[in-house]
Amino acid sequence: MDVLLTGHRGFIGRHLHRALEARGHDVQGVDLERHHSDALDFFRYDNGGYDLAIHCAANVGGRASIDGSPLAVATNMALDSWYFQWLIRTGTPRAVFFSSSAAYPVELQQPGDIHRLTEDDIDLNNPGLPDASYGLAKVTGERLAQYAEAEGCRVHVLRPFSGYGEDQADCYPFPAFIGRAKRREDPFEVWGDGSSTRDWIHVSDVVGATLAAIDHDVTGPINLGWGRATSFDQLAGYVTHAAGYTPRIKHLPTAPQGVHHRVCDPTRMLSFYQPAVTLEEGIRRALNS
């Protein structure tokens, strides 16, 4: 199978690239070429000829980027728009669109009891307020995916929660925590008051669930996560315990924090894919990498 993979040098993209090639597929990667071209240019001018397209390219870079560069992040709307136009113009029969847990209304992710987000919590006709311009771009992309489906392209829409792995950039929380633990930092810094929760899923399971959704022809939207709420204080405890020390936790209340609770209901995903890498195993792998 001939596969187009945008953002193939990025975190999710490079893992997908390896998995697709291991299956024997011919993969054309497209990523940012400095001072030259990017996926947006590709979608404008390419004439297609692929059996499957997987779109991982995006402008993002952790919470600091989402909060600090909203206009730059909003360029994802243009990128995604051209992606869907390219799919229809070239007659590409199947495609993957990575949405995000950031697409969910922030009102459902506030302090108090944890609301496990279900796919139906987003009504694309009245989606509520998503998380910053990044979430807005993802909600918009999901609506565009519906238009592409109506034009004959099969689109698999996935909503990953907090993806992580050993080779993730340290602007994201998980690798930042791993780096602090490897350096045995004491005090150990945690952004916010430490009580915010996230639903962590290892990159290998993001890839596994993506390929399983394609194999089983599940269009989605599909949450990718464990449904396990882990606070940042708990994550710090797991990481430092695995590293063999017990530092003092230093909270940074003025640092970017995002929503308070972001945890999924993974029922739809579990109907066709069972995640394999627990958070504890992911921490062990990262500390040993």
Burial annotation 110-147 (CB, 10 A radius, 16+ → b, else e):
eeeeebbbebebbeeeebeebbbbbbbbbbbbbebbee
Pull the structure tokens for residue 64: 């600091």
**Tokens read off for 268:** 């739809």
pLDDT digits (tens, 9 = 90+) for 117-156: 999 999 999 999 998 888 999 999 999 999 999 999 999 9
pLDDT tier, 35 (very low <50, low <70, confident <90, very high otherwise): very low
pLDDT at 51 over 50: yes
Question: By the 8 A CB rule, do 104 and 122 touch?
Answer: yes
Q: Is 7 exposed, middle or buried (0-12, 13-18, 19+ CB in 10 A)?
A: buried
- 88 with 151: CB under 8 angstroms? yes
Cβ atoms of 232 and 258 within 8 Å: the answer is no
Q: Which helix (H) or strand (E) holds 251?
A: strand 249-252
- Smallest CA-to-CA distance from 212 within 21, 10, 204, 55 is with 204
Handedness of CA 72, 74, 80, 85 (dihedral sign): negative
* Measured CA distances, 157 to 123, 144, 145, 218, 256 (Å): 14, 11, 8, 9, 28
Whether the CB-CB separation of 84 and 150 falls below 8 Å is answered with no
Helix, strand, coil share of the chain (percent; to 5):
40, 20, 40
Name the pTM for this structure: 0.93
C-alpha to C-alpha distance for 119 and 108, rounded to whole angstroms:
12
Joined tokens for residue 229: 């709420």
Residue 161: CA atoms inside 13 Å, Cβ hemisphere, count?
A: 30
Q: Could you read off the pLDDT of 249-278 as tens digits, one per residue?
A: 999 998 888 899 999 999 999 999 999 999
Helices (H) and strands (E) in the chain, counts: 11, 14
> Is the model's pLDDT at 70 over the cut of 80?
no
